[in-house]
Amino acid sequence: MTQESRPAPRRAPTEEEAKALASAIRLRILRLCFKEQLTNKEIATRLGANPATVLYHVRKLVSTGFLEAQEARSGPSGAYEVPYLATEKSWRLEQDGHDLDVRQAVIGAFVDEMGQVPASDEVLISRLAVQLTKEGHDRFLERVMGILEEIKAEETDEEADSTRYSIFLAVHPESQPGQPGQPRHSQA
């Protein structure tokens, strides 16, 4: 990726944006509306959730600019429906793990979504522990983020032979149970 083609640097979320992203259901709504316009009722059906509850979360995402209302349409029964589409604003925000509520929401959304994916050769899960210097860590993160930005830039529109994939990546220092400042884990 050349210097000219690099995306604008990410910015920290405002307090209101961080609050909006600190919900697994809201993150799942954003994923559902990523390229597909969905009404509140359609979102609720796909999530198996109460439409009134979903509407509350949709309104929060709209008010913070993460979802946009699209042109109203008539539904199957002739009722007035408003579909929503994700703005991809969350991708342009720095989500560095400092906000524990957002971190828990991201992990919760991942667990919920993975729980619905059937076993498949297309699912890859991997874990690795490595020992890195600060410079090695920074270089690794820069490379990984560069790859993610590159993939995002190459993304195609919905085509007959394309499949939507989710990528979850967490890079963190290993916890040291029993060390000062670290939670103790019980042995089961």
| Domain locations along the chain | 15-154
Distance, in Å, from the CA atom of 158 to the CA atom of 82, rounded to the nearest integer, reads 22
pLDDT digits (tens, 9 = 90+) for 130-147: 999 999 999 999 999 899
Query: What SS3 class is residue 86?
Result: strand
Topology, domain 15-154: Arc Repressor Mutant, subunit A (1.10.10)
What would the two tokens of residue 40 be?
A: 């509140």
Distance, in Å, from the CA atom of 26 to the CA atom of 55, rounded to the nearest integer, reads 10
| Predicted local confidence at residue 82, as pLDDT | 95
- Would the pTM of this model clear 0.85, i.e. be above it? no
The residue among 75 and 85 whose pLDDT is bigger is 85
